[in-house]
Amino acid sequence: MNKYASELIGTFVLTLFGCGSAAIAGQYLGTLGIAFAFGLSIICMAYAIGDISGCHINPAVSIGMLVAKRMSVKDFIGYVVSQCIGGLLAAGVLAFIINACGTLGGIAKTGLGANGYEAASSVGLSCGGAFLVEVILTFAFVITVLGVTSSDKTSHLAGIVIGLTLTFVHIMGIPLTGTSVNPARSLGPAIVLMGTNDLAISQVWLFIAAPLVGGILEALVWKGLHSSMAAPENA
């Protein structure tokens, strides 16, 4: 249960501070500032809960770990449930904070940092384009997670490397989709916005499916690369 509680807390922090920065201060921070808010959240949580749960705080990371046979099905289910609860609680708290601010215009105006495509994309990215972008960004992010945590030589740097990687995928992704690469981070704001901005909940399927596809593809490629490297030694 400590692992699941850690995943809930970590996802809560990531969603609250990442989406909060986009919703409350995005006009001042810009793309780079929001990207660093997400990245720094990962760094903080990696060193806070990494030794307890591994600090996945993302179903796409967890499914990559599952496919790579680095976690059990039972833990995968527990992690994903905890992550989604954490994301939902963070979105609820963020909504309360925004609605308590007299000049922000409420959650309908700020959007809670929800992801989107077509009319909800800053550049009008199509549905197909958004799916491809999220798969690629998630692939790049999760393969970094698997790589940096697979060796004792690099694992002590994992928090910094993973945080900076999340930052760099956000730099490209924010204008396109708002950058999900994390179904739990997308689901929470979309649910809380229901009845206020139904576009977010109608599009959230993409930001659940595409990151999971990216996580699975990445794990298969990672396993293939490592098996091909080990082949000469086993021959």
Give the chain's domains with CATH numbers. 2-234 (1.20.1080.10)
User: What is the enclosing helix (H) or strand (E) of 126?
Assistant: none
Torsion 78-53-163-214 (CA) sign? negative
Q: Are the beta carbons of 60 and 215 closer than 8 angstroms?
A: yes
Q: What is the mean pLDDT of the segment spanning 133-142?
A: 96
Q: What is the arithmetic mean of pLDDT over 72-99?
A: 96
Determine the Cα–Cα distance for residues 104 and 102; give it in Å rounded to an integer: 6
User: Each residue of 29-52: pLDDT tens digit?
Assistant: 999 999 999 999 999 999 999 889
Single out the residue of 4, 29, 5, 7 nearest to residue 18, CA to CA.
29
41 touches 13 (CB < 8 A)? yes
C-alpha closest to that of 115 among 21, 227, 206: 206
Please tell me the distance from the alpha carbon of residue 30 to that of residue 33, in angstroms, as a whole number. 5
Question: Is the whole model's pTM more than 0.85, yes or no?
Answer: yes
CA distances from 67 to 8, 61, 122, 127, 203 (A): 22, 10, 34, 27, 26
